[in-house]
Structure 1
Amino acid sequence: MKTEKNIALLKEKIEDVRICMMTTLSMTNEFSSRPMATANVEDDGSIWFFTNEYTVKTTEISRDNIVSLIYSNPSSHTYMYVNGKAELVDDQRKKEAYFSAIDKAWFPEGSADPRLILIKVTPVVAEYWDSTSSKMVVAFNMLKAIVTGDQFDEGQHDKLNF
């Protein structure tokens, strides 16, 4: 039950943002990050991305499949990170189901592009911070904390296990 609740929360937060920074471990054991558009979040919590099969990130995932996804939406004060396990998936049905017109900018041949492959990230743990108040309310609460010496209430924060 808790996992279902965590997955629903994960989907809600990610679907509002869609773009994340995906971090992998480079061949020289350094962090390597790049922006990625989320293609879909399935009901089991798996997060899907499109990529070119012949990139550095696919080589990095093949070598070490632990990834970190960082989602940030400053306008709604919502932030989330997801640590998970990535795998490369060549599934034509999923490619067709998740492919959008925007994806044609990177894959002009569409979902049948021979370079196109999916990255599936299975979340292990996630953490989020959410202060859905307006900027004015957030600024007021920060100022109030400074004046009163009380700690600033950041809103909702939780760690999710899957």
Structure 2
Amino acid sequence: MEYEDELKRLENIEKLRGMIDKIKTCMLTTYDTHQEFHSRPMGTAQVDVEGNIWFFTNEFSPKVAEISLENKVSLTYADTSNHVYIAVNGTAYVVDDREKMKELWNPYVEIFFPDGIDDPALSLLRIDTESAEYWDGSASKIALIFKMIKAAVTGKKYEAGDHEKVDL
């Protein structure tokens, strides 16, 4: 049974990796010092094989201060044109690993950190994913219209696409 559970976990990670790689940008939500939720857009650097999600960040940013007080976070990805939505819950860690930074570095990051890898404020943010939920209605428009018509004719509830909650 453990083997089957691990295989399912790896399949879930690969599904999420593929979906997130297509969307890239999410809203990272933290809990701020005023006991309110605070969200901001973040560009995903990587979803690794363990399901951890990596971002570049400024070590002195408000999000890092918030994470130092409460490191439970939420990520929300949305591709409205393809009807794909992902909600991720996890634990955030600030990581100072120059080798990992070199591995993940790309020209887009340089826009925010023109001093490159040597920028003293440059850090990584790793989200250890605990659970995720996704809605994937990316089937062709014809297939979606067919499902709507079928629901109307049969009187059954319209199901737009795949929806699953997964623990990682």
Q: Normalising by the residue count of structure 2, what TM-score does the alignment of the two structures yield?
A: 0.90
**Where does 1:122-141 land on structure 2 (aligned, <5 Å)?**
122-139=128-145, 141=147
Rounded to whole Å, the distance in 2 between the matches of 1:113 and 1:102 is: 15
Rounded to whole Å, the distance in 2 between the matches of 1:90 and 1:79 is: 30
1:120-149 Cα deviation digits (max 9, x unpaired) = 000000000101223454355446535654
Residue 79 of structure 2 is matched in structure 1 by 73
The answer as to 2:128 corresponding to 1:110 is no
Residue 93 of structure 2 is matched in structure 1 by 87
Residue 68 of structure 2 is matched in structure 1 by 62
SS at match of 1:75: coil
In structure 2, give the amino acid aligned to 1:91: D
Aligned match for 1:40, one of 37, 46, 50: 46
Q: Normalising by the residue count of structure 1, what TM-score does the alignment of the two structures yield?
A: 0.93
How far the C-alpha of 1:29 sits from its partner, in A, is 1.3
Residue 24 of structure 1 is matched in structure 2 by 30
Rounded to whole Å, the distance in 2 between the matches of 1:104 and 1:5 is: 33
Rounded to whole Å, the distance in 2 between the matches of 1:52 and 1:67 is: 17
1:93-144 Cα deviation digits (max 9, x unpaired) = 0111101001111000112211111000000000001012234543554465
Matched length? 162
Where does structure 1 lack aligned partners over 5 or more consecutive residues? none
Q: Which contiguous aligned blocks of 4+ residues in structure 1 show a shift greater than 4 angstroms?
A: none
The answer as to 2:105 corresponding to 1:99 is yes
How far the C-alpha of 1:10 sits from its partner, in A, is 1.5
Rounded to whole Å, the distance in 1 between the matches of 2:8 and 2:43 is: 27
CA-atom RMSD, angstroms? 1.5
Where does structure 2 lack aligned partners over 5 or more consecutive residues? 1-6
